[in-house]
Structure 1
Amino acid sequence: MTHLIATFFYAGHLRPAPGTWGSLAALPAAWVIYVIAGPWGLLIGAVASYFIGVWATEVETRGKDDHDPSEIVIDEVCGQWIALLPVAFGAWFAASNILALWPGWIAAFVLFRLFDITKWGPIGWADRMKGPTGVMLDDVIAGIFAAIGVMILAAIAHLL
């Protein structure tokens, strides 16, 4: 069960770039959660994926030298869902179809991957923490940075 969670239904085994595949797999899952439970459901999903991800990562890496194997992508799912929160709440407040906000989906995906790959500032600090908390926390921070970027881009787009 922990392997299924940690790899997000085996998306982490796709090559190349398993982190990108994990982020991509998070998108339709986010849409399903949004359709069923709205933006609050996605927020709860992001929080739950963090805690479940810490647990699954702890179990999957226990006794191994590699504290952050590439097939573990639940951290990318959590971060991607955080990056999508402004899109989800924006659609909800505007009573709009969330898929109509497709530029926000693209921005959330691209910005999250950018921050996750480059590991700027506190993202890199969290990534250097050993253990499951560090595995998850760097993607949480990358997701927060991406969410801020999505909000800035949305504000610019709506002002023009």
Structure 2
Amino acid sequence: MIAVIATFFGAGHLRPASGTWASAITVVLAVAAYQAGWALAVPVGFVVATVLGFWAVPRYLAERPGEDPPEIVIDEVAGQLLALSFTVIPLWRHDVPDLLFGAWPGWVAPFLLFRLFDIWKPWLVGRADRMSSTAGVMLDDLWAGLFAGVVSTGLAGVYHGVVRPWLG
């Protein structure tokens, strides 16, 4: 059970770039949940993935050497769900049915920005990554998700408040 959670049902074994695979799978699941009318599954999933991640990661690392092996991707799932929550909650609140343009840049930006912040590791993301603890495995991705969500919200504001009205 620990390995299933830590690797997000084996997604962590996909190569190359297991974290990117896990993030992409998470986006697909979030879009599917939104389309099925279960938009709040995304922020609830974030909480569940975070709690399960903080539980599973130290147990998984106790059984295997290495501080942050690439197969651990529950941290990417939690961070990506956090970033997507910044998109899903407003879409749900405003009952936006048009997932392509009405939600732009809502699905693409959080994915790309989360991967950028997770790989680049600026400021608090890098600080958490250097913690050399099992908590750091989760925290760097949660910070990356928070940054991605905030920047995505800003991009959505610029697009919907400036660009889209200008385009007509």
Q: Shared fold (TM-score greater than 0.5)?
A: yes
CA–CA distance in structure 1, aligned partners of residues 53 and 98 of structure 2: 26
Amino acid at match of 2:155: L
Structure with greater helix percent: 1
Alignment partner, residue 154 of structure 2: 152
What secondary structure, in the 3-state scheme, does the structure 2 residue paired with 1:19 have?
helix
Provide closer, same or farther for how the CA distance between residues 98 and 91 of structure 1 changes in structure 2, counting only shifts above 3 A. Answer: farther
> Which consecutive unaligned segments of at least 5 residues does structure 1 have?
none
* Superposed structure 1 runs of 4+ greater than 4 Å apart: none
Contact 2:80 2:110 in 1 (8 A): yes
Amino acid at match of 1:133: A
Instruction: Give the number of the structure whose alpha-carbon radius of gyration is greater.
Output: 2
CA–CA distance in structure 2, aligned partners of residues 51 and 154 of structure 1: 29
Alignment partner, residue 92 of structure 1: 92
List aligned pairs for 1:7-156, cutoff 5 A: 7-34=7-34, 35=36, 37-39=38-40, 41-97=41-97, 99-100=99-100, 101-156=103-158
Q: How many matched pairs?
A: 159
CA–CA distance in structure 1, aligned partners of residues 84 and 4 of structure 2: 23
Give the fraction of aligned pairs with identical amino acids, expressed as a percent.
Answer: 45
Contact 2:22 2:76 in 1 (8 A): yes
Report the CA distance between 1:5 and its aligned residue. Answer: 1.0
Deviates more, 1:48-57 or 1:113-122: 48-57
Amino acid at match of 1:153: L
| TM-score relative to the length of structure 1 | 0.92
Report the CA distance between 1:99 and its aligned residue. Answer: 2.8
Amino acid at match of 2:136: G
RMSD value, Cα: 1.6
> Which consecutive unaligned segments of at least 5 residues does structure 2 have?
163-168
Report the CA distance between 1:18 and its aligned residue. Answer: 0.7
Provide closer, same or farther for how the CA distance between residues 78 and 98 of structure 1 changes in structure 2, counting only shifts above 3 A. Answer: farther
Contact 1:61 1:67 in 2 (8 A): yes
